[in-house]
Structures are given as C-alpha cells and as structure tokens.
C-alpha cells in the first residue's frame, strides 16, 4: 500500500520507487500492472513494495503518483505528482533523457465492495418473522380458547385436572392387577427375576431369597493340626497350625448332626470345630472319609447343640447334577479365606469336565465361573432353586486360574455320602490308648502303579516282630488298599486313621497280594496292638 506519509522518505529508504534506464514509461491503466512487472510484498517495514524493469504503478485507492529519479534526469527524487495537476517540464539534462509526459487525469475510482456472507441478514429477518408469526398465532389461539371457555363455562385447567386424575386411576388399576398376579403365582417382589425363553424360564439376577434359604445349611470348618518343619540348623520342629474350609449339613440321626465336607479339609486333624450361621462353634468328629472322592462326613453330638441354634440351622436339599445345562446360573456359598460365609454367583461353564487329579487319575467335575476361593472347599454349589448340585473344591482349581472353579457333582457324591453316614463315628483316642499295626511301608502312587502294574496304596516293606501284622498274617510285599473299609492311598493316611482306633480294636485290613499271575485281594481281620507296648519292646 502506498500512503502519503511514506512519500516523505528520502532516496535511501524510498517507499515506492520506479527504477528506470533512459526514460520514463507511461503509467499503466488503472488497477493493472504493466508487462514484466515484479511485485513483492513484505510486512510493514520501510521498503514495502519494489517495482523493477522500468515500470510504474498506479494505485487505485490513491490519487498520487510517485516517481523516483535514480538516473541522470533533472527531477528531484521522491517527488510527488498529484493526479490531474499540470507541471512544468524540466529542461533536458543534455544526456538524452526523456521528459516525462503529463500524467493523465484518472477516472473516478470505484471502490471495491466486500461482499458479506450471503443470506446472513436475510436469514435473521426470516427467523424474526417466523417467531413473530408464531407468537401472534399462539396469542390468537389462546384468546380463542379463553373465549370458548367463557362461552361454554369449561375451564382448560379443569379439563387438564380431569385428564390427570384419569391417568392416575389407570396407573393404579394396572398396579393392582400386577399385585394380584404376583399373589396368585405365589411370587414376591424379591424373587429371582426370570426371562421367558422358548424352552422355559431361566434365571437372572436377584438371588437373595435363594441365599437366605440355603445359608443356614452351610457351616465353617476349622482344622487344627500339627505342622512339622526344619529350622536353619536342620533340626525338626513342630507346632500347631490351622486351616479353614466349609461344610454342608446333610442330615441327622438320633444322636448326631451330620455335615459333609472335603477330605482334604479335615486331613491330619488333631481337632475339628464347626461354626454355624449364628456364630456357635462346636467340636466335631470324623464319622467317615473317602480320600479318593475327597469327601468326609463330620458328626456333631446333638446334645451339644442348643435349641436356639437348632432353630436357626437347616438341612440342605440335595439336587440332581446330572440334569445340569451349560449356561444355567450357579451360586457358591462358603467360608472364603476364613473370613466367614460369603456368596459368589456365576453360571455353569461345563458339566462332566475331566480333570487330572494326578498324572494317571482323571475325574469329572462341574466347572463354574462363580469364584471358589481357599476356604470355599466343602461348601455348597447351588442351582437357582437353592438345591445343592455340587460340593466346591478349591483343591482342584487352585489359585492360579481366575474364573474357573470346580465342584464335585452331587449325583456322584450322594452314594459316597450315604455310605459314610452309616459309619461309626471316630473319636481320636488318648495317647495311652494308641494302636499299633507293626509295618513299614512306602506309597504306591498312581504313577508307580501304572509303571509297575501295581495297585495303589501302601506297599509293605517290613513286618516288625511281635506286632499285630506279624501275628495275623500281613506279609512283606502286600499292598494295603483299605483299613476298616475306608480306602487307603498312602502311609500318612493310614497313620491318620489309626489315631481313632484304640489298642485292642478289631478291624479289617484289605491287602492286594501278588500271585503267580496277578494281584489278588484279601481281607485280613486284625486286632490292633498297643503303641506303648511296642515302644518298650
């Protein structure tokens, strides 16, 4: 841009210069640049625009021409010539310079109008018009309604109130109908929600009623046992330790309340206690166990249970795990981490899931994504009807896998439970009455049994003199598989069983004895000797 104040600058700064050779050329027409012009624009500095190659520039918004004399002409540099003015031509400087012509009188310059965004004002006007029309229409309508109301004696407010009253009446009728249907079906607002499907109905979310009915039949089990270890000096040390689990009340007889749990929950126990839903804790005894199925029955004498506690506990209802379907709801209740009874929910992820117990033995379990944590072992896995469909076992799933819990199918467990419930309750005897069999042995694990074609159990490696084993015909090389009708898997299990048998007790010992072809089973009746007597001999 050329401005008048810039015309006052001298030749060294020159705002807008016309550089030429031997003469001036005629200025170009308005708003145009002559041929070969070179225009360069910069920020607002002293030298804003430069035009070269003997050209001149006419700015359409200013009426002044600015010529700069940098040659041998007789004109003052940076001289301004106003449009339409006459001026005297200076004399020739004798160097052949051309006398610049009189600048033509420029035509009236038309100012360029900047177009505003199309329709901006028009849209605003239209919007105002529409709003005004709407207000006018609303006013007219309101006046019309008011006039009609006055003429007929009916108020719009009264009509609105009548409509609202009718709506409330309809809603109340619908609510009464729903309540009547609920009463007729025997359901309540706290029942588990159900979804109707093509195959029937299935569960949904609310399990509060199921849990409330099932919780009184679940107990916490605490096992106090002796733990042995070696210190830094290699010396054997031992002390009391405790572990926790869960159990399910499955029945009672004339003198005992019976609870089923996992065998690994009560293994090696020096003392067992059971805590009921009301917080009452009582001693329990082992009535029977099956380590192969990981099941055990505990007995609590009825005469130790108060009437108040009996009124708060219940016997669980056992269901049918054979009819389970993948995807149906599952509810796990147990003494998780020993903190007390807790509830987790999920679905049946798989049925009859084969799980390897060891490298050889595989058993089928129920798989669920309901959390089964340490302490849940022996607790109940329920269906939506509150029936026990499985006995939880954290031993199977372990702690490494999330969302994969396992339970012993109740249909497979029921025969074992019924058998163990008929056993004589075992009470750990005093040390002075401890029994003694008189053998030395090693464990025949599933791997060894497969490798050497032997039965699992305790392989007898030694028979001590004057012992019950020697007296009643147990031989070296026999494999003891059961003791008093209970399966024996290893030496530790056999020793644990004998804690409940006093010296002089007669028991049946089942052994597998090798013959010319294979192992043959024999049942040997043995009267147990005294451990105290064996120690003195």
Q: Which residues are the active-site residues?
A: 264, 294, 377
Please check whether residue 310 is in contact with residue 361, taking contact to mean a CB–CB distance below 8 angstroms. Answer: no
Parallel, antiparallel, or unpaired for β 256-261 and 236-252?
Answer: antiparallel
Name the token pair of 364. 């089928």
Q: Indicate if the alpha-carbon torsion angle 286, 287, 292, 295 is positive or negative.
A: negative
**CA–CA gap between residue 338 and residue 379 (Å, rounded):** 12
Contact partners, residue 386, CB within 8 Å, separation at least 6: 210, 213, 214, 317
**CA–CA gap between residue 408 and residue 246 (Å, rounded):** 14
**CA–CA gap between residue 484 and residue 468 (Å, rounded):** 15
Helix (H, G, I), strand (E, B) or coil at 263: helix
Give the full edge-to-edge strand order of the sheet including 40-41.
16-18, 49-51, 40-41
Q: Supply angle C-alpha 250, 255, 256, rounded to 5.
A: 30
**CA–CA gap between residue 446 and residue 360 (Å, rounded):** 6
CB atoms within 10 A of CB 397: 24
Helix (H, G, I), strand (E, B) or coil at 519: strand
Name the token pair of 367. 């798989």
**CA–CA gap between residue 391 and residue 407 (Å, rounded):** 5
For residue 126, report the phi and psi dihedrals to the nearest 5 degrees: -65, -40
Q: What are the residues facing 240 on neighbouring strands?
A: 226
Please check whether residue 353 is in contact with residue 367, taking contact to mean a CB–CB distance below 8 angstroms. Answer: yes
Closest CA relative to residue 282, chosen from 260, 251, 304: 304
């Amino acid at each position: 841009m050329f401005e008048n104040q810039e015309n006052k600058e001298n030749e060294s700064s020159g705002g807008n210069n016309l550089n030429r050779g031997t003469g001036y050329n005629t200025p170009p027409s308005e708003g145009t640049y002559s041929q070969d012009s070179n225009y360069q624009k910069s920020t607002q500095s002293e030298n804003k625009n430069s035009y070269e190659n003997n050209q001149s520039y006419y700015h359409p918004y200013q009426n002044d021409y600015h010529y700069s004399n940098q040659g041998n002409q007789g004109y003052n540099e940076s001289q301004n010539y106003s449009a339409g003015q006459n001026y005297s031509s200076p004399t020739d400087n004798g160097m052949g310079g051309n006398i610049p012509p009189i600048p033509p009188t420029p035509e009236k310059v038309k100012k360029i109008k900047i177009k505003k965004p199309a329709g901006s004002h028009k849209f605003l006007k239209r919007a105002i018009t529409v709003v005004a029309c709407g207000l006018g229409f609303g006013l007219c309508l309101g006046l019309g309604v008011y006039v009609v109301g006055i003429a007929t004696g009916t108020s719009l407010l009264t009509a609105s109130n009548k409509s609202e009253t009718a709506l409330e009446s309809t809603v109340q009728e619908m609510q009464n109908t729903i309540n009547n249907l609920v009463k007729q079906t025997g359901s309540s607002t706290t029942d588990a929600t159900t979804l109707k499907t093509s195959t029937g109905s299935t569960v949904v979310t609310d399990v509060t009623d199921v849990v409330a009915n099932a919780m009184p039949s679940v107990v916490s089990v605490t096992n106090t046992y002796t733990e042995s270890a070696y210190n830094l000096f290699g010396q054997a040390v031992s002390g009391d330790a405790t572990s926790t689990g869960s159990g399910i009340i499955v029945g009672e007889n004339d003198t005992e309340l019976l609870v089923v749990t996992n065998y690994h929950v009560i293994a090696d126990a020096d003392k067992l206690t059971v805590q009921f839903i009301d917080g009452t804790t009582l001693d329990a005894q082992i009535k029977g166990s099956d380590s192969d199925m990981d099941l055990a029955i505990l007995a609590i004498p009825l005469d130790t249970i108060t009437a108040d506690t009996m009124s708060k506990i219940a016997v669980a209802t056992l269901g049918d795990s054979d009819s389970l379907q993948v995807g149906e709801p599952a509810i796990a209740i147990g003494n998780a981490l020993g903190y007390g009874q807790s509830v987790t929910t999920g679905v049946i992820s798989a049925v009859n899931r084969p799980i390897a117990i060891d490298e050889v033995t595989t058993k089928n379990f129920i798989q669920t994504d309901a959390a089964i944590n340490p302490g849940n072992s022996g607790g109940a896995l329920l269906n939506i009807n509150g029936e026990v469909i499985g006995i939880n076992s954290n031993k199977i799933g372990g702690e490494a896998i999330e969302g994969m819990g396992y339970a012993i199918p109740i249909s497979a467990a029921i025969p074992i439970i019924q058998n163990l419930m008929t056993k004589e309750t075992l009470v750990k005897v005093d040390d002075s009455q401890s029994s003694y069999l008189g053998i030395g042995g090693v464990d025949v694990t599933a791997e060894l049994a497969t490798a050497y074609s032997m039965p699992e159990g305790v392989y007898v490696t030694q028979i001590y003199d004057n012992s019950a084993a020697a007296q009643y015909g147990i031989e070296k090389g026999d494999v003891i598989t059961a003791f008093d009708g209970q399966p024996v898997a290893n030496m530790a299990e056999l020793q644990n069983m004998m804690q409940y048998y006093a010296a002089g007790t007669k028991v049946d010992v089942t052994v597998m004895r090798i013959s010319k072809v294979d192992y043959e089973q024999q049942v040997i009746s043995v009267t147990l000797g005294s451990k105290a007597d064996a120690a003195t001999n």
